Structure 1
Amino acid sequence: MSSILNADLHCHSVVSDGTLTPEELAARAAANGVELWALTDHDEIGGQHRAAAAARANGMRYLTGTEISVTFAGETVHIVGLGFDPDDAAISQGLYDTRGGRGKRAQEMSEGLAKVGIHGAYEGALKFVGNPELISRTHFARFLVEQGHCRDTPEVFRKFLTEGKPGYVPHRWATLKDAVHWITAAKGLAVIAHPGRYKFTANEEYALFLEFKAHGGKAIEVVTGSHTPAEFVEYADKALEFDFAASRGSDFHSPDESHCDLGELPPLPGALTPVWELLGDRIQQ
């Protein structure tokens, strides 16, 4: 398979913080010309069998996926897993343990918002949650938009849900080593999601890439809805520098919120090794 394959290997359903079901996502991806698809819900693999069946029904090839939250150098970093066994007990348990911290964090976020006059945020956010174990800042943001506190979810994040704002509560996730190990032990491949999004210094990013590679990580997202065109070029160069394969994914969450629709990104630069070339035997036809 070539680098010009329309692969979308990063998106979210109602099983985590998206607004569409796996079946609706599959239909949308296929309608947009996606040929190889992966559903990568946050810290959750409960939608994988549904997604695989929906991909087949829509004539797409499929890779299993998830997006694992880890803490590195005081920042939350996301590691996408692709092509793993969705019935592997260890990755299921690891993700279950990671999800466990979200409920307490959500209650503390609600308490912080109440102090600035926004009451009932936890109960309000729950209305937008498909899976209560995965309540997140995105669900709070949708509630605050619904209530008229902000025009859209980016404004909510800027005013209320980032560091130093009333609804921000840090959470310690899994370690980088944990996430890569869960993925690789389940016969999958680990990818650093949207590296351009993290607020790292050049030295911190270098350390992230080195440690990720040392634990067995194999790829980074180069072409993603979270990157600018300049970052496509920057992280293509980084992939070559560190001998990483390259991944491509929209990071689609919702028709009303996402800047980039499924399947609408430009192709990977031709000099890179597409991540799907390393996963040929894991692609479901």
Structure 2
Amino acid sequence: MIKYDLHCHTTFSDGRLDVAELLQRATEKGVDILAITDHDTIAAIAPARDYIGNNDLALELINGVEISTKWESFEIHIVGLNFDPEHPVLQSLLLEQQQKRELRAQEIGARLAKNGYDNVYQDAQALAKSAQITRAHFAQVLVERGVAKNIQGVFKKFLARGKTGYTPSNWCDIATAVGAIQAAGGVAVLAHPARYKMSNKWLRKLLSHFKAVGGEAMEVAQPQQPPTERQFLGRLSQEFELLASQGSDFHFPMPWVDLGRNLYLPKDCQGVWRHWGGTEE
């Protein structure tokens, strides 16, 4: 059985492992086919391909990205897989997204500074190094300063809607993300649909919209997931005639989330890899 992990992150966005560390860990965990899906950037793809070739890793890399979008009052993430990273339409959208991300980061820093938390933006920038600054970087800084016990606590206390550092996003809409991915020859996947804290009625409304604008697949399987949720998402993928994807959404090693861990599709789901001729054998 081929082991696919089609959602993970490096230090080019909010992951903790650099490209080499991530690829080595994927190999150690028995992953056969991996997609690096950093937030609104494809900067990891070229160095990842170089590292795999230079070190003869038994690992196939699928081009990937995770694009942030706005739909209704929700921030929805769309994963793109197996696209041409040089396509100008996709490159243009990602540049716009990166610019929006930087402006948002500056505003978060300004809002925190007004409330007595000085230089958080600068510290987050130093933590991110040459990568994009994400809210996870702000969270890490505030945890290190001792103002919250963990990243989840920072989001709840500082970055959630109505809190001190909350800054509304200005991402593109779902149709724009799907269109750019498809223009580049890729397949558009609705990321982690169970995480958006919406009712089943709203989830079906989201899936209907995603399908209507050309979306082709949805994530069904993740490591830390009740079996009932996986089965439910599998049924939804069939109901909306969407291919099914799987991915760890790996950012750093945790006991319950790791590359390739507990990733399998429910019976009768059609794997997204069939879109590019992959198999389960």
How far residue 208 of structure 1 moved from its aligned partner, in angstroms, is 1.6
Maintained 8 Å contact 1:11/1:250: yes
| Pairing 1:69-88 to 2, within 5 Å after superposition | 69-88=68-87
2:9 corresponds to 1:12: yes
SS of aligned partner of 1:235: helix
Which residue of structure 2 aligns with residue 103 of structure 1? 102
Q: Map 1:197-212 to 2 at 5 A.
A: 197-212=195-210
**In the TM superposition, what is the alpha-carbon distance from 1:10 to its structure 2 partner?**
0.3
Report the counterpart of residue 180 of structure 1 in structure 2.
178
Whether 1:59 aligns to 2:58 is: yes
Give the alignment partner of residue 245 of structure 1, picking from 237, 243, 262: 243
SS of residue in 2 equivalent to 1:180:
helix
Among candidates 37, 46, 50, match of residue 49 of structure 1: 46
* SS at structure 2 position matched to 1:43: coil
2:260 is aligned, of 253, 260, 263, to 263
TM-aligned CA deviation for residue 118 of structure 1: 1.7
In the alignment, is the contact (CA less than 8 A) between 1:194 and 1:226 conserved in 2? no
Q: Tell me, yes or no, if the aligned pair for 2:248 and 2:263 is still in contact at 8 Å.
A: no
Cα distance in 2 between the residues matched to 1:31 and 1:244 = 31
User: What count of residue pairs does the alignment treat as equivalent?
Assistant: 277
Q: How many angstroms apart in 2 are the aligned matches of 1:54 and 1:264?
A: 23
Whole-Å separation in 1 of the counterparts to 2:195 and 2:71: 14
Contact 2:247/2:263 (CA < 8 Å) preserved in 1? no
Q: CA deviation at 1:55?
A: 4.0
Aligned counterpart, 2:151 = 153
Q: Does 1:23 align with 2:20?
A: yes
Higher deviation after alignment, 31-40 or 14-23? 14-23
Match of 1:118 in 2: 117
> Pairwise CA RMSD of aligned residues?
1.8
* 114-123 vs 163-172, greater mean Cα deviation: 114-123
Shift of 1:116: 3.4
Task: Give the superposition deviation at 1:225.
Answer: 4.2
**Following the alignment from structure 1 to structure 2, what is the Cα–Cα distance between the partners of residues 92 and 62?**
19
Going from structure 1 to structure 2, the CA distance change for 1:96 and 1:227 (only over 3 Å counts) comes to farther
Structure 1: gaps spanning 5 or more residues: none
Say whether the 8 Å CA contact 1:18–1:254 is kept in structure 2.
Answer: yes
Shift of 1:215: 1.9
Determine the C-alpha separation between the residues in 2 that align with 1:112 and 1:229: 41
The letter for the 1-side match of 2:95 is Y
Gaps of 5+ in 2: none
Q: TM-score, normalised by structure 1?
A: 0.91
Counterpart contact for 2:40–2:66, Cα < 8 Å: yes
Q: Separation in 2 of the partners of 1:185 and 1:153?
A: 36
TM-score by length of 2: 0.93
Q: Secondary structure at the match of 1:63?
A: strand
- Partner Cα separation in structure 2 for residue 229 and residue 54 of structure 1: 36
User: 1:277 — aligned with what?
Assistant: 274
Aligned positions of 1:185-224 closer than 5 A: 185-224=183-222
Kindly provide the CA deviation profile for residues 102-152 of structure 1, in whole angstroms up to 9, marking residues without a partner as x.
2221122122222432221101111211435x2111000010111111122
1:240·1:272 contact (CA, 8 Å) conserved in 2? yes
The answer on whether the counterparts of 2:109 and 2:121 sit within 8 Å (CA) in structure 1 is yes
Q: Does the 8 A contact of 2:220 with 2:233 survive in 1?
A: yes
Change (3 A) 1:264 1:212: same
- One-letter amino acid of the structure 1 residue matched with residue 268 of structure 2: A
| 1:234-279 Cα deviation digits (max 9, x unpaired) | 10110111111111100011236x8401111231112100111112
Letter of the structure 1 residue corresponding to residue 241 of structure 2? D
